[in-house]
């Protein structure tokens, strides 16, 4: 299986955004704010599955696991929308992510 990364995710999101541009209003910083709020709601749905189903079902019940992963995908989709709205490339994200990792490795 090939690696699935932010570039492919953003390509998929661009395709989706283009398809529904008239309905959703396109990409802009204002839409980025909305996408961030929707992402937080989706993260809450992920947390709700953990709370209501528990770790054992997420790791052991295929239906619960698939629902959990689907909700995580929603979080990632909105994250990619936020990145697109603020013109954050996968390369820029990777650079800052690595820099943040280096700082975190030296924290304690």
Q: What is the mean pLDDT of residues 66-89?
A: 96
For the chain, what is the mean pLDDT?
A: 94
CA dihedral (62, 13, 11, 33) positive or negative: negative
CB 53 within 8 A of CB 64: yes
**For residue 6, what pLDDT is reported?**
87
**For residue 1, what pLDDT is reported?**
55
Task: Answer whether residue 95 shows pLDDT above 90.
Answer: yes
Is this model's pTM higher than 0.85 or not?
yes
Residue with tokens 């992963």: 69
Domains of the chain: 6-106 (1.10.287)
CB 28 within 8 A of CB 82: no
């Amino acid at each position: 299986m090939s690696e699935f990364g932010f570039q492919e995710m953003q390509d998929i999101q661009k395709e989706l955004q283009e398809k529904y541009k008239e309905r959703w209003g396109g990409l802009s910083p204002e839409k980025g704010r909305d996408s961030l709020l929707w992402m937080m709601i989706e993260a809450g749905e992920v947390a709700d599955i953990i709370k209501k189903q528990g770790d054992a079902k997420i790791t052991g019940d295929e239906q619960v696991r698939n629902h959990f992963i689907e909700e995580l995908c929603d979080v990632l989709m909105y994250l990619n929308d936020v990145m697109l709205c603020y013109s954050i490339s996968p390369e820029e994200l990777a650079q800052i992510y690595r820099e943040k990792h280096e700082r975190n490795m030296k924290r304690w």
